[in-house]
Chain A
Amino acid sequence: MLTVKDLYASYGAINALHGISLEVNEGELVALLGTNGAGKSTTLKSICGVLRPQGGSVEFLGEDLIGKKPEAILKKGISLVPEGREIFTSLSVAENLRIGAFSCYERDRYRYDLEEMFALFPILEERLQQPGGLLSGGEQQMLAIARALMSHPKLLMLDEPSLGLSPTMVDQIFDLIATLRDRGTTILLVEQNAERALRVADRAYVLKTGSMEFSGTPAELESELDIASVYFGGTKDGSGEVTV
């Protein structure tokens, strides 16, 4: 469904991605792991058109996405839940959801979709008329996910959905991600919380300072390298080099 090949990206003089490749197939939940600054968010930004990569290709359903505007890429069916949630704080919860459905609004379907979101996130129905800025962090994350789902994405990308949330809220968010996966939503999940992400993922990639360090199933990942090594460097046997 999504094929990223040999992607290079940089912020000014700083290289953020050195030719990474990854693939997401329909119905899969793929986790993209790595430390701060590994290039996870940069990868997502390159896919959704916020950042223009220096080289490589991004193909979605057979179509090249490089150089397309973010609004056009959303229409192709890729929806991003951005890092830090990026709720419209001065807009009500209802208005946030309405903007989420901007690209595909039809009155009847919209009502139906809203009901579905309320079933997934009952708290949003209670808070419908409140400004997004007054929601708690966890509620904002739910709103961000619901807002992204309103556009009926073929591929949902989540950027650090558990960041800054309380442990119970993290549980809820990962339960929700599992629910979405079971309903057949294709998901690309970027996480620092590798353990939790691997529990729900079908496959995983590990980024390290802009290069792809590993790709495989969660089981392969656990056997090949210590999860801690993703964050602290080195491998299970302590050799310092990871062979994939």
Chain B
Amino acid sequence: MIGSEFIINTLSLGSLYALIALGLVFVYGILKLVNFAYGEYLMVAGYTLYVLGTFTPIPWWLTMILAVALAAFVSYLTELIAFRPVRTKSLDAMLVTSFAVSVLLQNAALLFVSPRSRAVPFPPAFSESVTVFGATTPVRNILTIVTTVILLVALTLLMKYTVLGIAMRAAADKFTTTRLMGVPANLVISVAFILSGLLAGVVSIFWVGRSASVDPLIGFAPLLIAFIATVIGGMHSLQGAVVGGYVYGLLFNALSIMLPASLINYRDAFMFAIVILFLLLRPEGLIRGGYTEERVG
């Protein structure tokens, strides 16, 4: 059954892309900063999986939790050490800072681990095949979908029903006014970075799980995916990021199936052509969103 297999693969890929894009937009929504170091949070989690999984007897589930926690913590640290001091200066300063953080973290991995990729141990059950609705697919793909659904529900509840979530939405809408209501700027920004890092960590488990290896430049491709997904879905709302991720997954898989064998190597070129069409015809993305363009300062 090609049909159900296509649906499961698309949902799995789309889920992964949705989480990737969501992590980038959490920070963008509030700071209007495109954080180029975002991919490196994913790398941090990847290397944590490698180190703990290879050199310690820590069980795999705990390894995964620690990897996600460390990605969130590193994300928070970069905000504290690198972004906070330049936050009131200019958006350009923050953008350049995000490049610097990205390069620093990449080179730390090059220097302290190795420029070559390292094999990351995963429990065998992770890549075993299961049959769901007549489709045969690795357990990993089902886990990706289930994890994404749980995370999206949890984040929706957080953003809609907790005062912290409401404050974050308010800050994404009008930052200065939110501070005038007594909401501390540092609080909402820190939480945005922690959530961003947390999502990068979760993504890392499934991203690294696909190739079972990690290298210093592993963060680049997810960053690109987050850009493309947000171009498609829209940069100005969390919903846009999720929609963009799923549409990207769908387009990618559809291209894989529909393109003749001789053109399959040009799949990315076709994908980018679609992205250019989006930029030309609907630059605000599928979901317009209500966030303003106010600068934080």
- Where the two chains meet, the residues of A that have a C-beta atom closer than 8 Å to any C-beta of B are 48, 50, 69-71, 74-75, 79-80, 82, 86, 88-91, 95-96, 98-100, 102-105, 131, 133, 147, 151
Contact = CB atoms under 8 A, between A and B. Distances in A.
Contacts of B176: 50, 70
Contact of B182 (A71, A82, A91): A71
Contacts of A90: 169, 173, 289-291
B185 A88 contact: no
A84 to B, nearest CB: 10
B191 interface: no
Nearest to A73: B180
18 contacts: A50-B176, A69-B185, A70-B176, A70-B180, A79-B180, A80-B180, A82-B180, A86-B177, A88-B174, A88-B178, A90-B291, A91-B169, A91-B173, A95-B169, A99-B166, A99-B170, A102-B167, A105-B163
A117 to B, nearest CB: 15
A50 B183 CA distance: 13
Given A89-B290, A90-B290, A151 B181 contact: yes
Contact of B183 (A80, A99, A133): A99
A89 B289 CA distance: 11
B184 interface: yes
B179 interface: yes
Contact of B179 (A71, A98, A104, A105): A71
A236 B177 CA distance: 40
Nearest to A132: B173
Interface of B: 163, 166-167, 169-170, 173-174, 176-185, 289-291
A112 to B, nearest CB: 18
B170 A70 contact: no
A102 B181 contact: yes
Contacts of A133: 290
Contacts of A102: 163, 167, 181-183
B169 A69 contact: no
A100 B173 contact: no
Contact of B185 (A71, A98, A99): A71
A131 B178 CA distance: 16
B180 A88 contact: no
A152 to B, nearest CB: 11
B85 to A, nearest CB: 16
A50 B176 CA distance: 7
B166 A91 contact: yes
A51 B170 CA distance: 20
A90 B167 CA distance: 12
B182 A75 contact: yes
Nearest to B292: A89
B177 A89 contact: no
A79 to B, nearest CB: 8
A177 B238 CA distance: 38
B174 A86 contact: yes
A71 B166 CA distance: 16
B174 A151 contact: no
Nearest to A48: B180
B133 to A, nearest CB: 37
Contacts of B170: 88, 91, 95-96, 99
A182 B113 CA distance: 71
A100 B178 CA distance: 9
Nearest to B291: A90
Contacts of B179: 50, 69-71
Given A88-B170, A89-B173, A90-B169, A99 B178 contact: yes
Nearest to A80: B180
Nearest to B184: A71
A150 to B, nearest CB: 9
Contacts of B183: 71, 99, 102
Contacts of B178: 88, 99
Given A50-B176, A88-B174, 20 more contacts: A48-B180, A69-B185, A70-B180, A74-B180, A80-B180, A82-B180, A86-B177, A88-B170, A88-B173, A88-B177, A90-B173, A90-B289, A95-B170, A98-B163, A98-B166, A99-B178, A99-B181, A102-B167, A103-B182, A104-B182
Contacts of B180: 48, 50, 70-71, 74, 79-80, 82
B173 A74 contact: no
B241 to A, nearest CB: 15
